[in-house]
Structure 1
Amino acid sequence: MVGVAFNVDSYAQKRKPAPAASVEFNAAARPKNLDDSALLDLVQKQTFRYFWDFAHPVSGLSRERSNNAYSYGPEVVTTGGTGFGIMAVIVATERKWISRDSAARFMLKMVRFLHKSDSYHGVFPHWLNGATGKTIPFSRKDDGADLVETSFLFQGLLTARQYFNGDNATERDLRNIISWLWNDIEWDWFTNNQEVLYWHWSPNNGWAMNFPVRGFNECLIMYVLAASGERYPVSANVYHRGWAQSNFFKNGKEFYGIKLPLGFDYGGPLFFSHYSFLGLDPRGLEDQYADYWEQNRNHTLINREHCVRNPNNFKGYGASNWGLTASDTYHGYDAHSPSNDNGTITPTAALSAFPYTPEYSMQALKHFYNELGDKIWTEYGFVDAFNETQNWYAKSHLAIDQGPIIVMIENYRTGLLWKLFMSAPEVQKGLKKLGFKSPHISGD
């Protein structure tokens, strides 16, 4: 059971050292009687402040969390969360909350900083010092390359390269540096001479973390990008014999009367259907294993239905109050799911599901905003999580939870990030190589 739990909570386990420390915020103004469109505007714009107002002042990279944690002080920035933040900046630019020139200059500052920061075979660590670019170890042996975090980062960077296509010095420089960084990633190094990708490598500890990544979980984007690499790609066998070969890849059973094609029983935490799909458009995305729209929608419906039925009788659960995923909780940090439920609702779970379940997500959004807003609405949007059974309401915000709210609401509204990411020629080539079909792929 220990091995299964580690895989189910793959991303959350890496974040487990995080304490649920908190700081006080002044409650932000909360306009009443907004129509649906105005409410979505407000939530996206307010949440964006986390990545703009609260960005690290030196690098522009996204801070790991809004509260100082891990005894490192305020310098901890997250590579994966920065990828989500980059996509949030694109949304803000397109919606004219910030000027295109300001956004491009902000992005250029970020990629120039990344170009000089620590990397290992072209791959960044999980955490960097936002002032110096030096690695901040995630744990004693996790002090080098993190291929999953780097994949989330480049999901954002490739999207930015497609968006900032202007014929001016700032945008040309931005595109060039992103391409240099992209081409330097040695995806094939991270196979460790096997037909699977490994999550970590360290110059001090080598392959000691020993984490081959097998699906189904949040890491699909890593395999797609690894197949898309220009100079150091991996073969299709790495996907089919590594990612797709595990005792928790195929499912096919029903939970609460809803079929789940892939993954763990009951689907696991909802970030599995968010992180890789900020850029990967699941609409019409299929390979020999699944229809990824069906996978993600049904995963969401199972998660919600569990909260509606509420078998553990937690306070507050219901049709308008649902969403289990990894987040802070009253006793630390955990990967919440129907099979690991302690009564903690995480707003990003329901809100980042807007493309899959728009009516149910809007129902949850109105409840979070109108009924619980006095306790969970802040200057950076909704707090990370709450647990009404424990009368606990987080004061923290996490980049990896705030970012998907903005991005997935935008994908629901306009498909903006999906269109941009899927337009990258490398991505289309990688998807074809792995046997995917998508309306975005030329010839499909």
Structure 2
Amino acid sequence: MTTNVIDLEAKGCFDFFWNEANTDKTSPGYGLIRDNTRPGGRQMASIASVGFGLSAYLIGIERNWITYDEGYERTKGTLLTFLNEVEQVEGFFYHFLNMETAKKYEEFYDCPSIIDTSIFLNGALTSAEYFGGDIAGLFEEIYARVNWKMYYDEKNNWFYMGYKEGSGGFGKWDMYAEQMMQYILGAASPTHPVPAKIYKGFKRVLGTYGDYELYNSPAGQLFTHQFSHAWFNFNGIVDEDGIDWFDNSIKATLANRQYCIDHGDQFLTFHKDSWGLTACSGPNGYCGPGAPPYYPDVLPSNDGTVAPAGAAGSIVFTPQESIEALDYYYHHQPELWGGYGFQDAYNLDVEPAWFSDHVIGIDKGITLLMIENYKTGFVWDLYMKNSYVKKAAELLNWTPVDDQPES
């Protein structure tokens, strides 16, 4: 039964990406994928959703959910949309797009996004490795156009977090979070690379929760320990300071679960099989629950909301604990199951108990890719054989543990 739950969830995730795309081949937005399925929701695509979706199509081909030709046609059309139609600045795309026009979604303040562009590029890169040929050529054109230097704060040696036309970059990626993919793509760029030393430009804040010592993100959401790992296989890799980011994600996941166990008397939703605090929908809108060790100036924002993607996206780090959580959700929280597998989140600490009525693309994406990596390593294998990824690992001094010199 356990395997069935995992497979059912994976198929539900895939169906989201396949069904919630613009399939009108005459539309400028062909191939764009919806950000979420909120009832009555906006015609809004997420470029991060598309990035996960491009890798999802490859999984769909391998699992015989779609044919090779179907996946090829959808992928090629999507990349053509991004090359020719999607609004961009120096190669960076906006977080959210109008599903039909491919222009930035005007109802929200938005800026060209480095992290969401990176997620999209990761999906495009895996497509290039899988299909080769003209798909690879389209990826090369899109990737070569990205001016990583636009987002580089040379004085402080970090990436800006946002960019406003006219005034330049703002914010800072000066902490450990999901941005590791930015160093890979930025350092290896064939046209506008940033120096590899940028990898030294973020703080490594070592903290402890219970038995676990780890480098956490500021508010401790699990997606920050998952997203880059969905493509780059950090297992068995250490950096020049000896940091093993895969092991760090294991510790972060176990600490997150332990926090939920420890606070089971405070929150009805939390226990050993209901855990995984990560950004998700909540009873009062989008929220960002997380677990310690927090950064010193960060206050916890937990209200009892748990997202299945928290545990599912960590299945490569904590397979037994993650599978037990998914089994629990499926068998004991039936209201959490919907047309695309698990709905985004639930909360038993409000009256009445709250269950999301929708899914979010990035949560379905991290779930599907990590389940596939757990089962076959397929996405990892595609990504890790890419020449740009190999070049980045060398530039950043990320090497296999076995290659480390003896101390």
On the 8 A contact 1:127/1:138 being kept in 2, the answer is: no
Is residue 268 from structure 1 mapped to residue 200 from structure 2 by the alignment? no
Per-residue CA distance 1:57-83 (angstroms, 9 max, x = gap)? 3422221110267xxx64211111211
Q: Give the 3-state SS of the residue equivalent to 2:45 in structure 1.
A: strand
Q: Distance in 2 between matches of 1:316 and 1:111?
A: 41
Report matched runs for 1:8-47 at 5 Å.
35-47=1-13
| Structure 1 residue 392, shift from structure 2 partner | 0.7
Report matched runs for 1:83-122 at 5 Å.
83-116=51-84, 117-122=86-91
More strand by share: 2
1:175/1:436 CA distance change after superposition, 3 Å: same
Aligned to 1:168: none
Q: 2:355 aligns with which of 393, 414, 418?
A: 393
Is residue 346 from structure 1 mapped to residue 307 from structure 2 by the alignment? yes
Aligned to 2:332: 371
| Structure 1 residue 294, shift from structure 2 partner | 1.1
On the 8 A contact 1:284/1:292 being kept in 2, the answer is: no
Supply the AA of the counterpart residue of 2:34: R
Supply the AA of the counterpart residue of 1:228: A
| Higher mean C-alpha deviation, range 36-45 or range 385-394 | 36-45
Q: Distance in 2 between matches of 1:212 and 1:347?
A: 29
Supply the AA of the counterpart residue of 2:365: G
Aligned to 1:233: 193
Aligned to 1:16: none
| Structure 1 residue 36, shift from structure 2 partner | 2.6
1:427/1:439 CA distance change after superposition, 3 Å: farther
Q: Distance in 1 between matches of 2:52 and 2:181?
A: 13
Q: Distance in 2 between matches of 1:306 and 1:99?
A: 43
Q: Give the 3-state SS of the residue equivalent to 2:93 in structure 1.
A: coil
Q: Distance in 1 between matches of 2:260 and 2:246?
A: 21
Q: Distance in 1 between matches of 2:349 and 2:234?
A: 35
Report matched runs for 1:5-404 at 5 Å.
35-58=1-24, 59-67=30-38, 74-116=42-84, 117-137=86-106, 139-140=108-109, 142=110, 144-165=111-132, 172-194=133-155, 195-203=157-165, 205-207=166-168, 210-240=170-200, 242=201, 244=202, 246=203, 249-251=204-206, 253-260=207-214, 262-264=215-217, 268-289=220-241, 290-310=243-263, 313-338=266-291, 339-373=300-334, 375-390=335-350, 391-404=353-366
Q: What is the aligned-residue RMSD (CA, Å)? A: 1.9
Aligned to 2:295: none
Q: Give the 3-state SS of the residue equivalent to 1:128 in structure 2.
A: strand
| Structure 1 residue 41, shift from structure 2 partner | 1.5
| Structure 1 residue 348, shift from structure 2 partner | 0.3
Q: Give the 3-state SS of the residue equivalent to 1:135 in structure 2.
A: coil
| Structure 1 residue 385, shift from structure 2 partner | 0.5
Q: Distance in 2 between matches of 1:51 and 1:331?
A: 26
Query: Normalised by the size of structure 2, how large is the TM-score?
Result: 0.90
1:74/1:340 CA distance change after superposition, 3 Å: closer
1:275/1:162 CA distance change after superposition, 3 Å: same
| Higher mean C-alpha deviation, range 75-84 or range 128-137 | 128-137
Q: Distance in 2 between matches of 1:106 and 1:215?
A: 36
Q: Distance in 2 between matches of 1:393 and 1:318?
A: 17
On the 8 A contact 1:303/1:324 being kept in 2, the answer is: yes
Q: Give the 3-state SS of the residue equivalent to 2:287 in structure 1.
A: strand
Per-residue CA distance 1:361-398 (angstroms, 9 max, x = gap)? 1100111111112x011111111110011111110211
Aligned to 1:414: 376
Q: Give the 3-state SS of the residue equivalent to 1:201 in structure 2.
A: strand
| Structure 1 residue 119, shift from structure 2 partner | 1.0
On the 8 A contact 1:62/1:81 being kept in 2, the answer is: yes
Query: Normalised by the size of structure 1, how large is the TM-score?
Result: 0.83
1:138/1:411 CA distance change after superposition, 3 Å: farther
| Structure 1 residue 43, shift from structure 2 partner | 1.2
Structure 1 unaligned spans of 5+: 1-34, 166-171
Q: 2:397 aligns with which of 426, 435, 444?
A: 435
Supply the AA of the counterpart residue of 2:118: S
On the 8 A contact 2:175/2:217 being kept in 1, the answer is: no
Q: Distance in 2 between matches of 1:440 and 1:411?
A: 22
